[in-house]
Every structure is written in structure tokens, then in C-alpha cells.
Chains A and B, each alone.
Chain A
Amino acid sequence: MNLAKLKPGQKGKITSIGSIGPLKRRLMDMGVLVGEDVKVLKVAPMGDPIEVSIKSYNLSLRKKEAEGIAVEVAG
């Protein structure tokens, strides 16, 4: 399961981050870390990007980037 597949309102726990290099570092700097809880809030009107809530703030990222973030669905 990855973050891009979660539906708005669904929550998950990050189990691994597949991307590498600057992208991974940027994600980690924004608080996207293994073990973190994440909730999908919205999908943009055109279907991409998505908005998630993490570390009590809201972050948007493209589905392509979200696909690299593996999650375990919670609730």
C-alpha cells in the first residue's frame, strides 16, 4: 500500500520511503519520516496532486512522489 492509493479521509502510518537523493531528503525535512502518521485530506480537482496532513501541518505532493511512500492503513 502506498500513500497515493489512500482515499481522502484515510489515515496511515509510513513504513518506508522508497525515493532517493534530494527528493527523499526534502520529504524527510518536511517531516515525512518512517513511523509517522499521515492522513490524506484532499485530491486536487484535476486528480493530482494530493494534500496530506503530517506533523500537524498540511503538505501537498504529487501522486508520483506519494507512490514512493509506503504506508500501513490505519482506521
Chain B
Amino acid sequence: MSNTQLKYKDDEQAAGGTPAVARTITVAVAGNPNSGKSTLINAIAGTRLHVGNWAGVTVEKKEALFEFGGRKIRLVDLPGTYSLSPYSQEEIVARDYLVHERPDLIVNVVDATNLERNLYLTVQIMELGIPVVMALNIYDEAQEKGYRIDVKGIEEMLGVAVVPTSATKKTGLDELLKRVLDVADAGAGRAPRKLSYGEDVETAADYVAEALERNYPSLLERYPKRWLLLKIMEQDGQVLEKVNLPDQGFLEEALHHLKRAHGEDIESIMADVRYSLASGLTREILEKPELRQTELTEKIDRIVLNRFLGIPIFMAAMWLLFKLTFDLSAPFGEWIGAMTDGPFKRWASAILTPLGAPDWTVSLVNDGVIAGVGSVLVFVPVIFAMMFFITFLEGSGYMARAAFVMDRTMHSIGLHGKSFIPMLLGFGCNVPGIYATRTLENPKDKVLTALLVPLMSCGARLPVYVLFVGIFFPNNSSTVIWSLYIMGILLAVLMGLVFKRTLFRGEAPMFIMELPPYRMPSFSSLCVHTWEKGKHFLFKAGTYIFAVSVLVWFLLNLPWGVEHKRDSYLGQAGAAVAPIFEPVGFGTWEAASSLITGVIAKEIVVGTMGEIYAPKHGEEKKEIPTLQEDLKEVVTSFGEASVKAVKTLLYLPQPEEKEEDRGGLKLAIQGAFTPLTSYAFMVFVLLYMPCVVAIAAMRQEFGTWKWAGVGLLYQTALAWGAALIVYQGGRLLGLGG
């Protein structure tokens, strides 16, 4: 975050008088988690939202630029926080933005059904002296509950504009934006009221103010005065470090009386004062019905969190999540794969060949570029599906319950209850698993979970197992495959414990989580959210994936015209690294080369082995379909994919798929591996570096290569070590080499 030292002047605009109409109005949106802030922003800005990360942290940043009433508005979504204390990344990001970037005004989204706790944040926001417009959100639900809220009363007591809204029903949004413009034009004249924190606190604050004015007048120009006074009094470590006061003696004097009257812990005193303001205000403006009926949330929780039913319901929900995410998206992924493989490549050839393009160009375009684009696109359906259902789980309130049910188990290996879902999704595909870590709030939990997700054996590794198990363990195939899945889980537990004691040493992250009421998320908000994330993957992560697949094409095909794969750059690279694999039992250039291409996606190991061990001689001549036939295929096969998705969900029988003939490959592998080396090889494939897509996802999620690098290194080392133990241990036990 830039540390722009904007001069802070209270009355600049009020004195200037004329608001600059052409100027873009910057609006920061702040609020509690679960206050419907995301839905509100999605409803206002929709697809104009731009999603990124706040500089240097793993916190998501959303921004939108749009016009309303002929004025340009820049909306900046601050992370959802309960407070502006300096203890979480979210809180630091939010307050640094408010203090240093000084938006023109703040829209404070407040949950009308949970006023007291939400107003606690409002009180803190008001300390900044920036004009505030309050969106009294979820107002419809509050009314249904029979709450009577004195909107005018809040306006008068706080000196802020208040607009009742319902983000899910899209009511009050225009009014909200109108008030935003009004307040922006009024400038600092609409600064919120200064709330009195009680005699003792105010006396101390005055004392600090005098000391600052005397000794450090420049500080008061750089920071909002009231906020700075209070933070210095609270001895906020982050602020004290930034303002760097050489002499803090005055502080002791200022706090002397306050501490004598209210106790030593100044943070408690301040939290108390702020909460009493929030509670007092709530009492004044909120009237609840006398008779409180049992709420829907309570009824649902009686079942969902029941001592006996809680876990089975959780399991069922997870099964459904897994099934919907992967089964629903798989046919579309296959469709995209088939399209890029078939018609797209044929069209490219049809365009390039008549232009006299040399063979290598056609091959580069087809097997490098189009295949590269294809390898990005095939992930789109699964990422979209996962984002949609995860967002639904979060928005509906079940995610918090899932964490509540699973926390005991996950905590025993140093993880958070919410880590379960990313791990589970990892079995389908590591990439959505890594993206799903965004549901975790604490950066430590988030990174640790993402580092362990790739140890879950994903669907792409299965074809490798199936190939080898079919050759070497035809009688115990399922036991052997099962053992690999279990090994991944056990190593994740082990690595979790290791990381906790090394990279993530220190205080274990806490688990203090709100269980919000169940709510039905709005469909359009789910779609906007899914689209934001999907788009992000497509363009950002897609670039890296594409680059690597083109690179692999070069490795495989250069020097151009190589007769034998052994002589390609890939073969040479394979031969160069093969000795590393000598001690683990498969030190051949063939195995090494397959592992190199496997970084694109682990199932490619099988494809490369096919090309290396059993090259096809003389491409069989096939009828090349015409453009019309191709176009027809594109459409009909999409229809077929949709039908298949529905059928899978409903468990309807599907026509058997033809199995590819791999006779030549099987024979070659039988000669090159033994049962023991094949098992070591499978262990290596299970564990070695995550595929490029997973690495790109980590880079994307954490905004740095650091964790992707850590994952790459530790996994490859782990894979080598595990394969070594399997191979050498097996030989010692006399299982043959």
C-alpha cells in the first residue's frame, strides 16, 4: 500500500464551496462480514467490477468505475471487518486505505438485523472524519422480523446520511447513490458528528492533543486528528511505529487518570466505550417486538448442528458439492477439449496450409498455441462450477456451519475447520481446491491449506495409476490405487505438522467465527461473483499456463524434424536429469521426459509415454471432415455434453466409452518397469511438483511466487524422498528391483 502522505485538512472543500463536477468521486465501501456488502456491490456495479489483490497481501480487492447521474464514481470495496484494529490483514488494509488514500466518502454497509455489533464498526469509521453514508442493509428482513428502526434518529444522532437498502431485492440502491452524490457535493461539511467518549477519555484525548500540537504539529496535518489521538491513546502498535514519537512521556501522564479510574488495559477501556455508544444508540433507535418467535435459523441449526445428525449432514453436503462441481462440469470440459483438439486444429491447418506455412508453423499453432489455449479452457467449466457452489455455501451461511462441525478434526492437524472444503475439492482437481482457500480468513490458514491441497490425489493422476496398475497389479488394482490416495492424505497430515513447526511457527490462528443467519443468496449476485473469479482465472492464470505449454512444444519438437524423441530437447533434458531418478528406480530418459511434460497436467505423463514408448508409425489416413460437418459437430457435441451432465447428476446409464488401444505402450512399459519401480513411479507422480495450473493458481491467489515456489520445492523433494524409501525399502525387503 502506498504511503502517500496526503495533507489532511478538515475544511478544505467546505471553504472552497464549488464542488468539481467533472471530478471522479471515490467511494470506499466498508462493513462487517455477512452484512451483505458483497451482494450490495455486485448489485450496484455488476460486471463492471474489477477484482485483484491489495498490494502485497492475500486480501481480495474489488473496484468499479461507473457513471451515475452524470457523475463518475469509483467504488472501492474494503475487506469485510468487524473493527479497524490492527490485528488482521483485512483490518490493516481497510484502515490504511481510509487513512492514507482518503476517499471522498465512505459507504458503511450495516446489517439492520444486527445493529449493535455493526454500529461498533460505524463508531470507529466515524473517528476518521470522512463523510459517511450508511446503507442500512437487509432492511427487508429486519422489517419482517418486526423491527422498527428510527432511520431519522440515526441520521440525527450520528450526523450521517442513512438509506435503507436490500441488496438481494435491489431496493434502495438508486437512493443510496443519490445520497452519495449529495454528500460528496457537500464535501467535508457533511463530516459525521464527533461522538463523546465520556469525560475521562475526552480529558485524556485533550491532553494528548495539546501535547501533539505543541511538539508534533506536522502529524496532525498528515492524519485525521481524532483518529490519531485515539490510536495513540490506545497505543496501537502500528500507528506508534509509523508516527515514531521520540518522547512518549506525555502519554503516560495523559492516561494516568483514565487507567486509575477504569483499569490498566487501555484497549479494553476503548472497546468498552465504543461498544457502549453502539449499544446506547441501538437502544434509542431500535424497537423489537416483545414476542420473539423461534427463527428459521434456529430451526435449521437444530438439525444441521445436531450432535448425531451434524456429521452425516455435513458429509452429504460435501458429497453433493463434489458431485455438482465435478460431474456437472466434466462433460463441458471434455467438450472444450475435443473442440480444441479436433475442429479448431483442423481449421487452423485449413487456413495455414494454403498460405504456404511450413509444417513447423502448423505444428506450433496446433500443438503449441491451440493446445495451450485448450489446456486453459478445459478448466473453465470446473472453476466456474466450483466458484458458484462455494459462493452459494458461503452466502447461504452453511460454510460457517461446515467449519463449526469440522474444526475439531482439522484443528488436530493444525488447520482450520474451513480447510476441509479446499482439501476435499483437491481430490477432484487441485486447482479449484487452491482457489477455494479464499474462504479462509487468516493468511496462515490460507497458505498452509493451499500448500497441502496438491497432496490430495487429483483426477488427473488417476490415468497414470490406471495405466501402471493395469500392467503390474491387475489383481489388486483398487488396493494399490487406494494406497496412493491414503499416502497423500497421511503425508498432508505429516507436512501440516512439519509446516506448523517451521514456516508457520508462532501463535496458532484463532477460531472466532460468526455463525450468520441462513439466507438465500441472490442468483444474480452468485453469477456476478462466479464470473469475476472465472474471468480472473482465464486471463491471469491462463497466461502462465499457455506460456508453459508453448514452451513444452518447443522442447518436444526442436530441433525441428528430429527423427527420434530421444534427440529432441525434451529427450535431451530427460536424459540429463535421468541420473537423479537412478536411486529411486526409474533413471531412464523416457520416464524423466514424461515427468517433465507432466508438469502441464499430470495425466500428460501417459500421453508422453505413449509418444515415446510406442510412437505411431505412419499416421492413419482419416477422412477430414468439411467445415460444415465440423460446425455441426461443435454444436451437437455441446448438446450431448449438456445431456451427459444432466444424466450423470441423475445417475442415468451412459453409453460405454471406447477405450483407446494401448497395447504397444503396455508392452513397452512392461519391459521398462518392474512392479516395484512402477509403484515408486506412481508415488513420485502423486507427490512431485503441482502442475502448472495449480502453481499459476497459487501465484494468483497469493500475489507472489513465494508460496508457489515453496510448494514446488517441498513437493518435489518429498516425492523423491518417498519414492526412494519405496524403492530402496522394497529392495531391502527383497521385492525385486
A interface with B by C-beta (< 8 Å): 17, 22-31, 33-34, 41-49, 51, 55-62, 65
> A44 near B407 (CB under 8 angstroms)?
yes
Q: List 28 A-B contacts (CB under 8 A).
A: A23-B510, A24-B267, A25-B87, A25-B271, A27-B512, A28-B271, A29-B82, A30-B82, A31-B120, A33-B272, A34-B272, A44-B405, A45-B305, A46-B408, A48-B408, A49-B404, A49-B408, A49-B417, A51-B404, A55-B116, A55-B117, A58-B514, A59-B512, A59-B514, A59-B515, A60-B515, A61-B513, A65-B511
Mark out the residues of chain B between 205 and 233 whose CB falls within 8 Å of any chain A CB in the assembled complex.
none
Residues of A within 8 A of B409 (CB): 46
What is the 8 Å Cβ interface bit string for chain B, positions 390-427, against chain A (1 contact, 0 not)? 00000000001000110111010000010000000000
Residue B311 lies at the interface, judged by CB distance under 8 Å to chain A: yes
> B514 near A45 (CB under 8 angstroms)?
no
CA distance A27 to B640 in the complex (A): 54
Which residue of chain A is the closest to B309 with respect to CB atoms? A45
CA distance A62 to B407 in the complex (A): 9
Residues of B within 8 A of A22 (CB): 87, 507, 510
CA distance A2 to B613 in the complex (A): 68
CB distance from A63 to the nearest CB of B (A): 10
Residue B658 lies at the interface, judged by CB distance under 8 Å to chain A: no
> A57 near B117 (CB under 8 angstroms)?
yes
Residues of A within 8 A of B405 (CB): 44-46
Size range of the chain B interface in the assembly: 35 or more
What is the 8 Å Cβ interface bit string for chain B, positions 250-280, against chain A (1 contact, 0 not)? 0000000000000000011001100100000
Residue B114 lies at the interface, judged by CB distance under 8 Å to chain A: yes
Residues of A within 8 A of B88 (CB): 26
CA distance A45 to B405 in the complex (A): 6
> A44 near B117 (CB under 8 angstroms)?
no
CB distance from A47 to the nearest CB of B (A): 6
CA distance A22 to B91 in the complex (A): 12
CB < 8 Å: which of A25, A42, A43, A57 contacts B514? A57
Which residue of chain B is the closest to A45 with respect to CB atoms? B310
> B407 near A25 (CB under 8 angstroms)?
no
Mark out the residues of chain B between 573 and 619 whose CB falls within 8 Å of any chain A CB in the assembled complex.
none
Residues of A within 8 A of B267 (CB): 24-25, 28
Residues of B within 8 A of A45 (CB): 305-308, 310-311, 405
> A51 near B275 (CB under 8 angstroms)?
no
> B515 near A49 (CB under 8 angstroms)?
no
CA distance A65 to B512 in the complex (A): 9
CB distance from B411 to the nearest CB of A (A): 7
Residue B477 lies at the interface, judged by CB distance under 8 Å to chain A: no
* Given the contacts A25-B271, A29-B83, A60-B513, A51 and B407 also touching, CB distance less than 8 Å: no
CB distance from A68 to the nearest CB of B (A): 11
Which residue of chain A is the closest to B82 with respect to CB atoms? A29
Mark out the residues of chain B between 49 and 93 whose CB falls within 8 Å of any chain A CB in the assembled complex.
82-83, 85, 87-88
CA distance A45 to B403 in the complex (A): 12
CA distance A15 to B307 in the complex (A): 29
CB < 8 Å: which of A27, A46, A51, A62 contacts B515? A51
Residue B284 lies at the interface, judged by CB distance under 8 Å to chain A: no
Residue B182 lies at the interface, judged by CB distance under 8 Å to chain A: no
CA distance A59 to B513 in the complex (A): 6
Which residue of chain B is the closest to A17 with respect to CB atoms? B268
> B271 near A29 (CB under 8 angstroms)?
yes
Residue B141 lies at the interface, judged by CB distance under 8 Å to chain A: no
> B515 near A31 (CB under 8 angstroms)?
no
> B271 near A51 (CB under 8 angstroms)?
no
Shortest beta-carbon contacts, A-B, top 10: A46-B408, A29-B83, A45-B310, A28-B271, A22-B87, A58-B515, A48-B408, A29-B82, A62-B511, A61-B512
CB distance from B298 to the nearest CB of A (A): 9
> B510 near A51 (CB under 8 angstroms)?
no
CA distance A46 to B407 in the complex (A): 9
Residues of B within 8 A of A51 (CB): 305, 404, 515
CB distance from B190 to the nearest CB of A (A): 27
CA distance A60 to B404 in the complex (A): 7
> B514 near A56 (CB under 8 angstroms)?
no
Residue B301 lies at the interface, judged by CB distance under 8 Å to chain A: yes
CA distance A25 to B120 in the complex (A): 13
> A30 near B87 (CB under 8 angstroms)?
no
Mark out the residues of chain B between 429 and 484 whose CB falls within 8 Å of any chain A CB in the assembled complex.
none
CB < 8 Å: which of A24, A29, A44, A55 contacts B305? A44
Residues of A within 8 A of B271 (CB): 25, 28-29, 33
Residues of A within 8 A of B87 (CB): 22, 25-26
CA distance A30 to B88 in the complex (A): 13
> B411 near A44 (CB under 8 angstroms)?
no
* Given the contacts A22-B87, A51-B404, A60-B400, A44 and B310 also touching, CB distance less than 8 Å: yes
* Given the contacts A26-B87, A45-B405, A31 and B305 also touching, CB distance less than 8 Å: no
CA distance A51 to B515 in the complex (A): 8
Residues of A within 8 A of B117 (CB): 30-31, 55, 57
Residues of A within 8 A of B268 (CB): 17, 24, 28, 33-34
Residues of B within 8 A of A23 (CB): 510, 512
> A60 near B511 (CB under 8 angstroms)?
yes
Residues of A within 8 A of B511 (CB): 49, 60-62, 65
Residues of B within 8 A of A57 (CB): 114, 117, 514, 516
CB distance from A40 to the nearest CB of B (A): 13
CA distance A27 to B685 in the complex (A): 45
CB distance from B464 to the nearest CB of A (A): 36
Residues of B within 8 A of A31 (CB): 116-117, 120, 275
CA distance A41 to B87 in the complex (A): 28
Which residue of chain B is the closest to A63 with respect to CB atoms? B408
Residues of A within 8 A of B272 (CB): 28, 33-34
What is the 8 Å Cβ interface bit string for chain B, positions 662-681, against chain A (1 contact, 0 not)? 00000000000000000000
CA distance A55 to B117 in the complex (A): 7
